[in-house]
Every structure is written in structure tokens, then in C-alpha cells.
Structure 1
């Protein structure tokens, strides 16, 4: 099927093959991106990954801002691989929103329909409807510098939606917000995205943004897809150290025999006593994971319930909220979350050796 001509599709009735199907192959200098993405209409796909993983390259490739060296981009059953940027049915919201500073909120939102050939009156009427829907009617005459971060974000989103896109690209939509307003704006954004019947692709560094806003998560590292799944699946069973840190889990690789996993690193056994007991028997290459809150710390070797006990050295103590994170090294490296009262009682400091215990029932074991 050929390239679809310019359009203003509302998308109320998705056609067969609706949604996103993209095979993106891109080479820029030493960096190579090879990733397949798919997402049905009405869903939010979040891209996570460390700096340099390829998240921004994916967004730019989807938008048509960089040419593919191979692959395809299908949206709602139409091939947009070679479609020019201005004709792709895509709306984009950048990190800093990029609102036109000399225009009012109303004219910013009306800009898209005007570019598509809609008349001034019709474009402004569409803009008023969107601003009212986003509780911004009273700010229609305001210029960007007069808006709060959350208000500017909603104006940018309204501008992206005004042209009737079939895909929204959101580049770190919370990055420009202060911490005190982020939770409220995130909740409102989730509500607005639930009403959008096209595909949304969200790039973020914040796992909370992904967990709250996304229906499906894709994790990129080095230009490759290393894990994908629902937020619950990714959080419960991370497959790389980066993902484990992101969702706050201790993660190890090893080989399982029954209820015991012997840990390995690059194919070699880790440490002299690097084994972990798990709650369910398993055979073969495996990943084991458990949360820092499952780790109990002791001055003396514990007796009784913990199936896993290691003597480890304290490498760091970090306070966050009402918890304290203790970073430990030795036969294995792990993090333990304890209360400030427990820290005071243990009287531990960097460089000291203590005992760490984890019940086997707290340890998740799954296929590598």
C-alpha cells in the first residue's frame, strides 16, 4: 500500500491494522538502533533506558526528523515510512514544550489546524474547545511566560491534539516541572491520555511516569530492546541491572539447581559463597530478584528463619524519605532498606562488616 496523503483523520473508528507497527533501523556514526515497536490505538507505550540508549532517536525516527536506514513505519494500516514530516499524522510534545512565545495559548493551539488549511475562525474554535476541555479556558489569552509549568504542558498537549493526530510523541513531559507539582500534573496527564484514541509513545527517565502513564513498557539499552511488558511485569521481573535499579530491586544472574541458585558474572561463579536460596525450585540459567526492603541486617549471624545469610561490608548509607538505604558489598552486592531507628540500633558505618539475611520466600526466580 502506498503512502497516505495529507489528512486530518479524527480516528473515531480505527481501520483494520490500526495502531503502530514500526521496525526502526538507524545508523548514526558509531550508534546503531534496531528496534521493533507495536502498540494498539488508545494505549500508551513508554520507552525507558539509560542515556544514550536510543530513546530520543526512536522518537525522532517516528516523527520523521531523521531518515531510517532500514525498516518501516505503519500507522493505522498506512505506510508512512517515506512520508514527509509535515504530512505524518503525528503530534509531538517536547521537553520544554516549545510554545511560540509571541502567541497566546489560543493561537498556539490553533496553529496546527491553520497549517492544515483550516480557516482562522474554525481553527480558533477548535482551540477554544480543547483549552476548555483541559480547564484552561481562562488562560486562552495568556502567553507562555504567564503560564505555570503544568499549564504550559497542557497547552502544548492541546496544540499537538488540535491537528487530529493518530500518534502522540511525548518527550520527557514531566522534565520541566518542579517536584511539588509533578504528581498532580502526572495524574491529569493520565486522564487526558485515556481519552486519546490514537497511539501515545512516551519517552521518560522516571520509572514512576512509566508506571503511572503507560500500558506497555519497552526498555532500550545500546539501541536494542532488552525488555518489554506491562508495568507490573517489568517491575516484578527485571532482566537487566539498569531495570532492576530503576524499579528498586536487587538482581542477580546464576544457574539454578532445585531451590539453590549459584550466582555467576560473565559466565564465572561470583565469590566464595555466592548462592541464593529461592522459594520455588528451578533448573538452568536463571535471574533472581528481591526488594531491598526484604533484606534484614544483623550485628551477629542470625539463627532460624532466613534461608540466605551473607557477611557483607557497608559501602554507603543513604537517607531517603522515612527510610535508609544501606549499600553492601562482599560475596555479592546488594541494597537494604531499613528504618532510621534500625540504623541507630545497629550503629553501622561505612567500612564495617555486618550480616544480611533474606528469606527464600522473598526471592523471585525466573528464566534468564
Structure 2
């Protein structure tokens, strides 16, 4: 059995953190995924809409029942434990703070539910608000807080129950674009101070790359890739992950310095040249910025050259992203000046070239 099939972490901290295999059915959709997180580790679950991210989070929280598998937290099997008894704190996408309570009593709510007295619960809440830099807002109600402040109150409320597992559901989605960057940085600092395992669900690759120590990618209810953010970004294994990190990705068979790649358009084969020798099934990837476009076949031909058709053009930061179709579909990023100079538009045929040294190749 593979590590994913058993749900085992294989690490020395497996018994102290989260070790789960989540299998459940919701109509035609099936989730079957292993998730693990060590104490103090932040694991981001990334995936497209409908991939099972939120379902996985709800299952960990006890809000969804498993058909198979188990959830072990700190060495304790909590699979059938009621949600209210689980040592789990959760921050919802919209924070769900109680509007009729001030920040202090919002944070004290969890300890009170666990049986703590009013004075003890409020003392714990005050300490957490102090840690979050919110002591002066203890008497403020949620409506008077900024988005970032409300998020910190929600985080303090989740931590007030002293969880062994912290669950974050799209923690930055409720913020406007101007607030996200600063709140993201602050959240990373807060998470770095925690000693519990943290599972963060997001569809935003930047959130995952900045906040997480490790990334698990879900597609159609299954784990398709996992690893440190840098490893996932450098070596995507599905088209979805490649799009997230901005790479052209293909799978093929390498023989020496050439890789035969199945063309998506007509089922034909295109070839990619490498700067080093490889053998067997591989992925090849290169960034759109490494693609040069020409109206005429260039002299001093680069090692990789394909005749393609422009399928679309869009603004991409200070560049222009060109979508190219044909036997070897790809993306190219060029300057607006280059776009105007080449007089490129929909349906125009161009030559696309990539240097062999720009191509990454790794085992499939």
C-alpha cells in the first residue's frame, strides 16, 4: 500500500498530529483522501471548486460523517466523536462572529461551552486578544471591526478552546483585495506561533504558498499532489496545478534529449528538446515568459519550435498572455509592445520557440 492509501504519515510526529483518511459520498461525488499535519505545521488544501476541499474540512470538524476511513488526532481516534467534543477549532470563511456579543465574549464563548466559569473564560479570552494585538477592541462588537480585526477575533475564538487541530476555511476570502496582502502576512506570523496542527482550505495559490508549510492538492475528491510549496510550484503534476503556478505542462516519454508529448488538439505527437538526457515517462514544463513568438520562421532556430495559431489574448499584469492552439497548445507572455509590433490577433499563425535550457524535466 502507498502512504496515501494507508493515511500514515510515516514520520515520528504522526501520533502527535493529524493522521486522517476521509472517505464519504455526497450523491455522485466521492471524497477519498488522506490528510496529515504535524503539530505546529500548516497544511493548505488547494483545489478547484467541487474538488472536495470544504467537504474534507467539514469531515475533520465532525460536521460530515465518514463512510470509511478514520480521523486520528494526537493519537486519539475521534472519527465518531461528536463535533462539540472534538479538540478542534474552526475559523469559517465569513468568521460567523456573534453580532450581539463584544469581542471578549465572542472569544470566551468556546471555553464557556466547555464548562469554564465566566471569570476563567473571560480571562482566557482577554489573554488571547492581547496576543492578537486586539486588547483595545475587547468591548467592540463585530460590526465595528475591520475585516482583518474580525478575522483575528475569529482566530482567537477558535484558539480559546485549546484545540489540537485548527481548521481555516478560506480565511482571506471575505477581505477586499487591498486588505488581503497585509492580513495574509499577519496571519502567517500568528500561525507560526501555534503548536497545534493547522489545516487551511483555499482556492487561492498565493494564500497556500505564503501560509502553508506543506500543500495537498485535491481534484475530483482525490489527492493528486502534495509537498512543500516550492516543490509543488516547481514540479506540477496536473494541468490544474500548472495553471495555478503559471507553467506550461506536458507529459510524455523521454529518449535521450527528446520527449514525445501527446498533442491535446488532434492526438498527434509533438516533441520537446531537452538540454540533458532523460529516459522514461516524464513531465516537461516551462514558463510562458520563456516563449518567443515570430511571424516568420526564425533564423538560428531554437531547439524547440512549433507552428501554432493564436486562440486568444489577455492582459496579464504588465504583460500580455497569448493563448496558442494547435498540435502543441501553450501560453506565451509577451510585452504589449511586442504584441503591437507583431500585429497579433485571433486566428493568426505564428512560430513559438523555447530554448531547451528553459525546459524543466522530471519523472512522471
TM superposition score category, shorter chain reference: over 0.9
Question: Are 2:263 and 2:327, in contact at CA under 8 Å, matched by a contact in 1?
Answer: no
Runs (4+) of structure 1 exceeding 4 A deviation are none
Counterpart of 1:280 (choices 276, 281, 287) is 276
Q: In structure 1, how many angstroms separate the alpha carbons of the residues matched to 2:167 and 2:47?
A: 16
Question: Are 2:14 and 2:38, in contact at CA under 8 Å, matched by a contact in 1?
Answer: no
Tell me the alpha carbon deviations over residues 68-107 of structure 1, each in whole angstroms, 9 at most, x when there is no partner.
1111111111111111111100000111000011111111
TM-score of the aligned structures, taking structure 1 as reference length: 0.93
Which residue of 2 is the match for residue 178 of structure 1? Answer: 176
The alignment of Structure 1 onto Structure 2 pairs a total of residues equal to 353
Q: In structure 2, how many angstroms separate the alpha carbons of the residues matched to 1:230 and 1:103?
A: 40
RMSD: 1.7
Question: Are 1:313 and 1:354, in contact at CA under 8 Å, matched by a contact in 2?
Answer: yes
Q: In structure 2, how many angstroms separate the alpha carbons of the residues matched to 1:309 and 1:128?
A: 64
TM-score of the aligned structures, taking structure 2 as reference length: 0.94
Q: In structure 2, how many angstroms separate the alpha carbons of the residues matched to 1:121 and 1:15?
A: 35
Q: In structure 2, how many angstroms separate the alpha carbons of the residues matched to 1:342 and 1:182?
A: 33
Which residue of 1 is the match for residue 359 of structure 2? Answer: 363
- 1:257-276 equivalences under 5 Å are 257-264=255-262, 270-271=267-268, 274-276=270-272
Greater displacement, 336-345 / 239-248: 336-345
Q: In structure 2, how many angstroms separate the alpha carbons of the residues matched to 1:138 and 1:320?
A: 42
Tell me the alpha carbon deviations over residues 302-332 of structure 1, each in whole angstroms, 9 at most, x when there is no partner.
2226210111111111112211111111121
Which residue of 2 is the match for residue 119 of structure 1? Answer: 117
Q: In structure 1, how many angstroms separate the alpha carbons of the residues matched to 2:195 and 2:187?
A: 14
Task: Give SS of 1:226's match.
Answer: strand
1:227 maps to 2:229: no
- 1:95-114 equivalences under 5 Å are 95-114=93-112
1:336 maps to 2:332: yes
Task: Give SS of 2:130's match.
Answer: helix
Task: Give, in angstroms, the shift of residue 16 of structure 1.
Answer: 7.8
Counterpart of 1:300 (choices 296, 303, 307) is 296
Task: Give SS of 2:157's match.
Answer: helix
Task: Give, in angstroms, the shift of residue 186 of structure 1.
Answer: 0.3
Tell me the alpha carbon deviations over residues 201-226 of structure 1, each in whole angstroms, 9 at most, x when there is no partner.
00000000000001111111111111
